[in-house]
Amino acid sequence: MTPESGEALLSATGPARVINLTYRSDRRSEFEAQLKRIGLSLDHPQIRLFAAIRPEESGGFPTIGTRGCFLSHLSVLREAIAAGQDSILICEDDLDFTPDMISRLPGLLAGLMQQPWDLFYGSYADLPAGKVIAPGLIRADPSETIVGLSFYAVRGKAIADLVHYLEAILTRAPGDPAGGPMHVDGAVSHFRADHPQYTTLVASPPIGVQRSSRTDIHDLKWFDRLPVLREVTSILRGLRRRAR
């Protein structure tokens, strides 16, 4: 472990907010272990937990969890503006850093410091199309949909513009041609397509992956609804992660 890795990450991407539902202490402790790998902790002055929003109704979104996730990301961005922050790193609590992250981080952060960017994705589901501009960095095409928002940064004027964009989505009905309630990663992809002036850089390959854990966004599988099987499933997920 290199304790400097985490400090360098925060220096390049800004202070971090970790979105976590208060009752998911399992995810908090798992993410705390990830932070320790890079010399950080939830007690670090530039890392704060955000109590994820869990609304009572879906409000036109696919699920209640989808709406809560959208509102949580929007709230973190709003708080960054209120605090006068020029850059913000947003992490979801089911983020795992890749095994090679520490060895790759110095080169990747050097590229981030040298290249102009407005959004940065450290994790995603599928590698987006784009142009390699530095070792380990791709400039994503604005029209390219990027699935996943468990580890990303936004900075500069893009923060305020993204907030306004997400707020506008909340005012529209589902299926609105201009963009109604949707998953937050889809909303950010729409924002990028509608604001091609903003540069999106993507770590290639990713330096973070979504940890396998019980979902709070989609409907639960049957084995996550039954108490005993839920605990067994959690143990098996942990064993599978350690075996990777």
Delimit the domains of the chain by residue range: 4-211
ω into 205 cis (within 30 of 0): yes
CA distance 225 to 134: 45
123, exposed or middle or buried, with CB in 10 Å at 0-12, 13-18, 19+? buried
Residue 127 is classified by DSSP as P
Q: What would be the CATH architecture of the domain defined by 4-211? A: Alpha-Beta Complex (3.90)
CA distance 65 to 175: 18
Q: pLDDT by residue for the chain (244 residues), tens digit each?
A: 455 789 999 999 999 999 999 999 999 999 999 999 999 999 999 999 999 999 999 999 999 999 999 999 999 999 999 999 999 999 999 999 999 999 999 999 999 999 999 999 999 999 899 999 999 999 999 999 999 999 999 999 999 999 999 999 999 999 999 999 999 999 999 999 999 999 999 999 999 999 876 555 445 443 344 554 444 444 344 444 444 4
**Encoded tokens for 193:** 């397509």
> pLDDT value at position 79?
98
The whole-model pTM stands at 0.86
**Encoded tokens for 171:** 């005012």
* Contact criterion met (CB below 8 Å) for 58 and 67: yes
